[in-house]
Amino acid sequence: MTNTDETEFQIAPDPENTRLSQEVEGLDQDGKPVSSHVVHERPPTIFLNDQEIVTSMTIGDHPDWLAVGYLLNQGMLNTDDEITAIEYDDDLELVVVRTARQTNYEEKLKKKVRTSGCAQGTVFGDVMENFETASLASDAVIRTSWLHTLTKKINTAPSLYLKAGAIHGCVLCNADKPLVYLEDVGRHNAVDKIAGWMFLNKIRPDDKIFYTTGRLTSEMIIKCVGMGIPILVSRSGFTAWGVELARQVGLTLIGRARGKRFLVLSGEKRIIFDADSSTIPDEDRKHRRKAAMEDAG
C-alpha cells in the first residue's frame, strides 16, 4: 500500500530505471562521438471491462494509475465506482480496469476531440459539456513562499526530465511539500497517472496544488478542474483558451514559474504574497535552457 502521509516525495521519478530510458551513441555538432540518454515509449492499450478504449504512448511505468486516471478524466469512471480488479499484461501491453458497474461507451468514443497535448491527447465532448458545472474550493490558498520553495525542490530533484529530456513532469503538492512526482512523454499521461493514484488512495483534492512542466493548455485546465484541484502551476506558458477556461471556473492559474518569477492570469484571490522576490535567486541557467526548449516544443 502506498504511504499517504503528507511528507515530501512519497513517489518520485526513478531516472536510473533502465526500463524507462537507455543510452545511445551519436555525434555532436562537431562530428565527435557522444552518448545520450533517451526515454522509451510503449503503447499499452486500456480496456474498461471488456471494451477497448484507447492505446496511449507512454514510458510504461504505473500502467494501473495511468488507466484509472485516464478513465476518470474522460468521465468513463465515476468517483463512486468500485474497481474490482486492475489487470496488466506486460507482454501484450494491455491494462484492463474492471468495475462492479456495467459499462458501455461505444457512443462516447465517437465524440472524442483531439487536443493540443503531446502524443495526441484526447478529451471527450461531454467532458467539455460538464465543465461549466465544476466547482473548486474557494478557501484554498497558495503562498508565494510555498511557490518558490516548491519550484526549487521539484527542479532540483533527480528525474528523467533532467537526465534525458523529451518528457514532462507533473507533481501533486500540499502547501510547500511536493508529494507525488510522475513523468511521461505526454503531459496528459503524467496528469492521468496522478489522478489514478489519488483515486486509488482516496486523496482529497481541494487543498492540493498541481505543478506541471508543460504548457497550460485547455486540456491541462480541463483535467485539473475535473480532478477538483483549485490551483495549477507551470514553469511553462499559457494558451488563450486555457486562460479563458480557468477564469470561467475560478481556477488559480500560475505560469512561467521560474526562480523568483511567475505570472498569474486567473484566480489571484487564492494567492498570499508573503515572499520578498528581491531575496530569491534567479533560476539556474540549465533549467532556463530546458524551459526555453519546452516553450518552443
Separate counts of helices (H) and strands (E) for the chain? 9, 16
**pLDDT value at position 119?**
41
d(CA 4, CA 10): 7
Q: Which residue has the cell 485539473?
A: 224
Of 133 and 91, the structure prediction assigns the larger pLDDT to 91
**Cell numbers describing residue 208:** 492540493
Residues whose CB is less than 8 angstroms from the CB of residue 58 and which lie 6 or more positions away in sequence, other chains included: 41, 42, 43, 44, 66, 184, 185, 186, 189
Inter-residue contact 245 to 269 (CB < 8 Å) = no
Helix pair 187-200, 218-227: axis angle to 10 deg? 0
* Nearest of 171, 177, 168, 172 to residue 149 by alpha carbon: 177
Helix pair 218-227, 63-73: axis angle to 10 deg? 90
**pLDDT value at position 287?**
55
Kindly report, residue by residue over 204-235, the tens digit of the pLDDT: 999 999 999 999 999 899 999 999 999 999 99
Output the CA angle 224-95-71, nearest 5 degrees: 25
Inter-residue contact 254 to 263 (CB < 8 Å) = yes
Kindly report, residue by residue over 275-287, the tens digit of the pLDDT: 888 887 777 665 5
Question: What is the 8-class DSSP label of residue 30?
Answer: T
Model confidence at 4, pLDDT cuts 50, 70, 90, reads very low
- CATH number of the domain located at residue range(s) 142-296 in this protein: 3.40.140.10
* Nearest of 40, 41, 37 to residue 25 by alpha carbon: 37
The yes-or-no verdict on residue 6 having pLDDT over 80 is no
The yes-or-no verdict on residue 114 having pLDDT over 90 is no
User: For the chain, which residues make up each domain, given as ranges?
Assistant: 45-131, 142-296
Inter-residue contact 36 to 21 (CB < 8 Å) = no
Q: What mean pLDDT is reported for the chain? A: 88
Kindly report, residue by residue over 167-201, the tens digit of the pLDDT: 999 999 999 999 999 999 988 999 999 999 999 99
Model confidence at 120, pLDDT cuts 50, 70, 90, reads very low
Poorest-pLDDT segment among 133-137, 203-207, 209-213, 263-267: 133-137
